[in-house]
Structure 1
Amino acid sequence: MHPKMKKSFVVLSLSMLMTTGAAYASTAPVAPVNTSSSVTSQSALLPISIQINGEAITGNGYQKSNDTEPMLPLRAVAESLGFDLTWHQENLSVDLIKNATFTTVTTGQDRYTINKMFTTLGTAPELVDNKLYVPASFVSKVLNGSLSIEGKTVSITLEEQQKSIKSAGVITAINHAEDYPSIHIQGVGPDGIVLNLEKDTPIQMLDGTKLSLSDLHIGLTVEAEHSMVTTLSLPPQTPTYKITVLDPKKQADLLGTAGEIEEVRIDDDGNTSFLIKGTGLNDQSQSEIVLQLTDETSLINKDGKSIEKSALVKGTKVIGFYNPTMTKSLPPIGKAYKIVVDVDKDTDADKDTDKE
């Protein structure tokens, strides 16, 4: 065979071979490419059994060889604990709600909603065979349950309302949202605690008179019976079972200013007033105001305990409450209805008394 013809034959043969191979490959089924790390196959996963309140549930969790904690089936666990679930197909997320606890879980996102606040657990939820799984720590850190892991078994119990505590404080903010009503006590901003309410959470006066959320206002001192468990957010939030107003009467038009005492003033008649600079608690409140003490002024700490006037010195953090009747001066002058001092339950005066 002529050398050029031989070379052409070899090239043609290679070309046909490559074309045939490509055609053969194109007829084979192509596996879908999984671009999301949140969708997992059940193969090669260590099964984990689950017990809730001492009883085994249907369905297992799983644990990968390199994972630090098991993954649990969200629906099976949450429903066994009494939560209602709502699935959203459009973004592969689920809402969970029970009493005043609400959370949202989204596939592939290590960002868990706790009553509109966010926390991370170090592991994102995963879809396995069309079931959503969450890390075991979700039970303890989000659902407020007790968690125990021994070998291939996860045991879960849920603390119910019987284990509750009482906290007292002055209302500094109220959220009237229909879905997530709440009140903020014992501070402003990141301080204090947020009491999450249900629509049927009992609210009453000391004499048992029933109230609604709309009857509450800033400046009221209340006692709350709430869960021992709180979120890790600032301020922390907690499910609340009962609210009791400790003040003998309400004054719905109160304004409030949170800040520091910049100056203590005593006039010729011995009357005391304080210049407070800070932040108004609502649109009508002042950022800077002079509040005059009267015989009717209530002086308390952040937990609602009475304190002496001597605790009110320059530099002290306070929340002053007053009515809208003020002078037109700058800063305006008004009469103090209640002053909350940011001190602990045991004030220095109390400690000195204890020593005696």
Structure 2
Amino acid sequence: MDDLIYNQRFWPDRGNVMRAEDAVIENISMDNRTGFVTISYRDTNDYCMNEQVVVLAVDRDTVIRDAFGNPMSFRDLRQGMTVDAEFSAMMTRSMPPQSRAYRITVVNRMEETHVTEGMVLDVDLNNRFLYTGNPNDIYSQIRFVITDSTVIRDRRGRQIRLRDLRIGDFVRVIHATFMTMSIPPQTTAFEVQVL
């Protein structure tokens, strides 16, 4: 895990804790005894609103609770959930950065979804992006983040890989309602169906 130090058995002083409110779980994975939860959230400062992405290292000392304070386990977390998170201000220099999670509170069990249909304009295998929309209108285009949890299906409903999608395919994408303010806007794809 790069140079991340996350095996402390105590909470550092409160000045070293970062908070993310209404963050969306983008991806969940496990490596040995450490779980990793990728979240995206809006960081608002005086000048603009930026989307931040961070990978939270979740271990046995991480407190996970629902909105009513009931304890939850790492296995209860799902992609698309809305959470509040408290994590260490010490992060790796990787992209996205990684940090130790102290507390995760599930605010909403599942985020609402939207459905978008469009033509595949590009498939970026290196960054795991799928671009759809009208090639002559940048304002109609959307960049979808394809995670390990994204399900991609062909016309017959069989599961396929991102590399199997072709420019010109017409697809239906079930995705998060939250989009970045970039051009084109970016959001997470939960399911991609070739039509």
Q: Could you say if the C-alpha distance between residues 167 and 301 of structure 1 is closer, same or farther in structure 2, counting changes exceeding 3 Å?
A: farther
Residue 19 of structure 2 is aligned to residue 166 of structure 1: yes
- The residue aligned with 1:281 is 147
CA contact (8 A) 2:82 2:110 kept: no
Task: Indicate the SS of the match to 1:280.
Answer: strand
In structure 1, distance between residues paired with 2:106 and 2:129 = 21
Q: Do 2:25 and 2:40's aligned partners in 1 also have CA atoms closer than 8 Å? A: yes
Gaps of 5+ in 2: 42-51, 112-127, 153-161, 166-170
The reply on whether 1:299 has 2:152 as its aligned counterpart is no
Q: Deviations over 1:153-172 (max 9, x none)?
A: xxxxxx92422121142212
Residues 317 and 195 of structure 1: CA distance in aligned 2, closer, same or farther (over 3 Å): same
- Counterpart residue number, 1:77: none
Whether contact under 8 Å (2:25, 2:82) holds in the other structure is yes
Matched, 1:242 2:103: yes
Highest CA radius of gyration, 1 or 2? Answer: 1
CA contact (8 A) 1:276 1:290 kept: no
Amino acid across the alignment from 2:61: D
Deviation at 1:239, TM superposition (A): 1.4
1:150 is matched with which residue? none
Deviations 1:109-136 (A, max 9, x none): xxxxxxx225xxxxxxxxxxxxxxxxxx
Match 1:290 to one of 164, 172, 192 = 172
Q: Which residue of 2 aligns with 1:262?
A: 133
1:180 deviates by 2.3
Distance 1:280-1:232 versus aligned 2 partners, 3 A rule: closer
What's the counterpart of residue 176 of structure 1? 30
Unpaired runs of 5+ residues, structure 1, are 1-115, 119-141, 145-158, 252-256, 265-273, 303-310, 333-356
Check conservation: 1:262, 1:277, Cα contact below 8 A.
no
C-alpha deviation, 1:184, in angstroms: 0.9
Change (3 A) 1:244 1:259: farther
Task: Give secondary structure in 1 for the equivalent of 2:102.
Answer: strand
Please give the secondary structure, in 2, of the residue aligned with 1:214.
helix
TM-score, normalised to structure 1's length?
0.33
Contact 2:176 2:187 in 1 (8 A): no
1:214 is matched with 75
Following superposition, the deviation at residue 258 of structure 1 comes to 5.0
Q: How does 1:23-102 map to 2 (within 5 A)?
A: none
User: Which structure is higher in helix share?
Assistant: 1
Counterparts of 1:262 and 1:183, CA distance in 2: 30
TM-score (norm 2): 0.57
How many residues matched? 143
**Equivalent position SS for 2:14:** coil
Identical positions, percent: 21
* Matches of 1:173 and 1:300, distance apart in 2: 15
Q: Which has the higher contact order (CA 8 A, sep 6+)?
A: 2
